[in-house]
């Protein structure tokens, strides 16, 4: 088990493996996103209450879900980096931040667009919306904190601590509609019971959620590969890789 663990922690091995995975993930991303969004926007019937305005769920819901999942990936990577001093985990933690911040911003913007026809206002200090805003600030905080240190090892430790402390916000986001009075509707998808959303709306939504998860994976792999090349630029294997590419 420890051999497998240390193999995964090798930047060189990860770079080689991710290069083989990326084409397949890119195809999966393109197929699921195009099919899911087109299906949801063009072929699903209007909602009986919200009309066509509900269609923004095919962007808003996947963006919000993956933004929360991405934060947990960042927090776990931070914990691994903090405990075992694995530099690849530090790279993953750093690279999660800009992707997660972008997805959280997209969730906030699409939520505001959806809120205007639904609630009559662009923004309310609703428990879930406010906690998602906190999530955005946590992502940005990790980015800013990393750049604030000249010593990148110290920066990684500080960011890992912030990521771990901020992880308490994830259950707050998820359970906020149950814990407090909220304008935000509860989850429409249930994995343990019957979902409240109609199957004709649910199927394309599942496709777009898969697409957003796959997009996150592709983006993270690309960011981490770039970070590996930057940090390992003085190693022999990177010099050989650059030399081989220059001959192609």
To the nearest whole number, what is the mean pLDDT of the chain?
A: 90
pLDDT of residue 248: 58
Note the pLDDT of residue 244: 83
Burial string for 141-159 (b: 16+ CB within 10 Å, else e) reads bbbebbeeeeeeeebbbbb
Domain residue extents for the chain:
19-186+195-247
- What is the band of 8 on the pLDDT scale with cuts at 50, 70, 90? low
- The mean pLDDT value for 40-49 works out to 90
Percent of the chain with pLDDT over 90: 70
Tell me, what's the pLDDT at 4? 55
Is 101 or 6 the better-scoring residue by pLDDT? 101
How many alpha carbons fall within 13 Å on the CB side of residue 154?
Answer: 5
What are the tens digits of pLDDT across the range 57-113? 999 999 999 999 999 999 999 999 999 989 999 999 999 999 999 999 999 999 999
Specify the pLDDT at position 200.
Answer: 87
pLDDT for the residue numbered 242: 83
pLDDT in tens, 160-183: 999 999 999 999 998 887 777 666
Q: Please count the CA atoms within 13 angstroms of the CA of 99 that sit on its side-chain side.
A: 27
pLDDT band at 197 (very low <50, low <70, confident <90, very high): confident
- Return the higher-pLDDT residue of 243 and 108: 108
Phi, psi dihedrals of residue 111, rounded to the nearest 5°: -65, -40
Q: Mean pLDDT, to the nearest integer, of 132-137? A: 97
């Amino acid at each position: 088990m420890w051999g497998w663990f240390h193999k995964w922690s090798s930047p060189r091995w990860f770079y080689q493996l991710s290069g083989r995975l990326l084409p397949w993930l890119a195809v999966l991303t393109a197929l699921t996103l195009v099919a899911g969004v087109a299906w949801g926007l063009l072929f699903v019937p209007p909602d009986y209450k919200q009309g066509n305005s509900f269609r923004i769920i095919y962007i808003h819901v996947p963006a919000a879900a993956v933004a929360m999942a991405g934060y947990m990936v960042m927090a776990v990577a931070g914990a691994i980096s903090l405990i075992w001093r694995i530099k690849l985990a530090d790279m993953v933690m750093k690279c999660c931040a800009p992707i997660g911040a972008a997805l959280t911003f997209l969730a906030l913007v699409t939520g505001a667009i959806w809120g205007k026809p639904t609630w009559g206002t662009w923004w309310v200090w609703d428990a879930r919306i406010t906690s998602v805003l906190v999530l955005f600030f946590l992502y940005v905080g990790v980015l800013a904190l990393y750049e604030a240190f000249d010593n990148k090892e110290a920066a990684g430790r500080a960011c890992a601590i912030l990521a771990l402390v901020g992880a308490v916000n994830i259950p707050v986001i998820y359970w906020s509609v149950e814990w407090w009075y909220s304008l935000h509707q509860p989850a429409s998808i249930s994995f343990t019971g019957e979902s409240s959303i109609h199957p004709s709306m649910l199927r394309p939504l599942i496709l777009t959620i898969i697409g957003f998860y796959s997009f996150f994976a592709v983006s993270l792999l690309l960011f981490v590969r770039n970070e590996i090349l930057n940090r390992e630029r003085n190693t022999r294997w990177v010099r050989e890789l650059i030399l081989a590419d220059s001959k192609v």
